[in-house]
Structure 1
């Protein structure tokens, strides 16, 4: 949490074979059953990328290599504000095992619009699609 009370959260857009990893929040989490890019809260004295590598290992049992930071999104939820900091990541190996989430999918970018997203993730989806369009 920063001086304003905003919670810093990183998320990973893990890419592999032209697809990106999305996860569904469990029924026991806030924003239950909505889809998101996986990640977690940045701890004190932890870099954003170190946090992301740790969180993805803990939550999904896979290795990732962050390679590009995208534009952070500040979003107010009831009772809290988060700064969601997305990173494009290469998949680094491992077999996904869900420890917190209900489900996961490897999704083609064209299918991202078919998911019901956590509100903070929506601008990340839009930026990602624009970035891919600009690469063409």
Structure 2
């Protein structure tokens, strides 16, 4: 099982989402950005590193949500989401094709990678409970 950490990055009431390039698995689908956990790496360290490498952003992981296990045809991943605070930087795409800052209520209208679908639902449930 591959451990993948993803960021639900909040900034001024919006959330950052990223569209996978046509050369990546699950091409052109949207996801919360992040990446694979390296051996001997802490989850939050991984997320800070991946967001810097892939998007040139500085973040602060705040809240760990419930992990999601998803089996794709060729692999099984454990997707570990964190709600994160934006610290600084301007988005520079290293791997993704596109990005968007969207309102939480608009998240369901995007074509999500299958593993991210339950994360979107969990996040929206949390936001609804908090309001």
Considering the TM-score relative to the shorter chain, is it more than 0.5?
A: yes
Cα deviation 1:11-70 (Å, max 9, x = unaligned): 000000111000000000000000000000000000000000000000000100000000
Q: Provide structure 2 residue ranges, at least 5 long, that are not aligned to the other structure.
A: none
TM-score if structure 1 supplies the norm length?
0.96
2:57 aligned with 1:48:
no
Residue equivalent to 1:3: none
Structural RMSD (CA): 0.4
Q: How far apart in 2 are the matches of 1:63 and 1:55?
A: 10
Q: Provide structure 1 residue ranges, at least 5 long, that are not aligned to the other structure.
A: 1-5
Structure 1 segment 22-101 matched on structure 2, within 5 A: 22-101=17-96
Structure 1 stretches of at least 4 aligned residues deviating more than 2 Å after TM superposition = none
Residue equivalent to 1:10: 5
Q: CA deviation at 1:8?
A: 0.2
TM-score if structure 2 supplies the norm length?
0.99
Q: How far apart in 1 are the matches of 2:40 and 2:73?
A: 27
Aligned length, in residue pairs? 131
Equivalent of 1:106, from 79, 101, 109?
Answer: 101
